[in-house]
Homo-oligomer: A and B are copies of this chain.
Amino acid sequence: MKIDFSRAVSLLKENDNFLILTHANADGDTLGGGFALLLALRGLGKKAKLINNDPIPEKYRFLIAESDDVPEESGFVVSVDVADKVLLGKEINEKFGSKVSLAIDHHSTNKLFAKETYLEGDSASVCEIVYLIIKELGVKIDGEIATRLYTGCSTDTGCFRYSNVTPRTHRIAAELIEFGARHGEVNVRMFETKKPGFLKLQSLCLASLELYFEGKVSVIVVTQKMLSDCSCGEEDCDAIVALSRQIEGVRAGITFKEKKDGSFKVSVRTHEGLDAAAFCSAFGGGGHARAAGCQFECSLEEAKKAVLDEMKKYF
């Protein structure tokens, strides 16, 4: 069931012991929003614990904040930035997928899997929503909370670069900097620090680049071997995915990322006029208008063929 802003705030006010869930393959927005909410709730004298499916990648470890000891059976479960319970990750979905009391999200494709969902489909990041909720809760926002929220605002917009940015996004960023967000440091970590191995990965990926539909669709493949050859991990793929759309003339960039079990995650990035979420929904995936994803259990060649066949409908 969808709820309004004040109901979401009330639910957080009324409860005292929280379990906060992020999505699997956690990024800056789900972790920034999750840990900011945790700090805010603790600031109100409540107990909160953040639980996620995978080890947190090195580049996001600065977002981690101390959790309380909240019993997993009795906590009030809140998910942050999770559009569907399967996106919690296998283990967390099995444990908590049907026990989420409140989902706070900005994916218009949210499956309303939680008991109550506060959804702003046109918010550039979940951190914008968490910021407004935290303010309404009357929490004193310090540099620790502000830095985490800023990280989500920045990472989910490519540092204010994408068309999902609204005037509200910029005004919230201004306020977060005033509250002490370490914006320069965050952006250096997120965008301005390239490992030599990443630069090698980028070269390999560009060598694998294929263009289809008269250069309007790019296809990049990232295999586990490429990642290990370059000492890179899953978290390095985001910048490769972004690159797929940055090539002149490309309207849709498609990245096939091989997972450890040999299956493929497909990330789609589009420019105006091509709905990435609608495209990925043909394969049971989802996301946003300009950035979406889906999964394939078949071989790379089969996945590629399916994706390019579907793309024919758009060109």
Q: How many copies does the complex hold?
A: 2
Contact A174 B171 (CB under 8 A): yes
Contact B271 A199 (CB under 8 A): no
Contact A161 B162 (CB under 8 A): no
Distance of A192 from chain B, by nearest CB (Å): 5
Contact A162 B187 (CB under 8 A): yes
Query: What CA separation (Å) do A168 and B166 show in the bound complex?
Result: 16
Interfacial chain B residues near A208, Cβ < 8 Å? none
Interfacial chain B residues near A161, Cβ < 8 Å? 159, 187, 191-192
* Interface SS of chain A: helix
Contact A193 B160 (CB under 8 A): no
Interfacial chain B residues near A272, Cβ < 8 Å? 184
Stretch at the interface among A129-137, A175-183, A277-285: A175-183
- A263 at interface, CB cutoff 8 A: no
- A301 at interface, CB cutoff 8 A: no
With contact pairs A170-B171, A173-B170, A174-B170 given, residues A247 and B184 touching in the complex (Cβ less than 8 Å): no
- Size class of the contact patch on chain A: 35 or more
User: Quick one: CB contact mask for A177-212 with B, threshold 8 Å, 1 for yes?
Assistant: 110000110011001111110010001001000000
Contact A248 B194 (CB under 8 A): yes
Contact A183 B165 (CB under 8 A): yes
Contact B193 A199 (CB under 8 A): no
Query: What CA separation (Å) do A107 and B183 show in the bound complex?
Result: 22
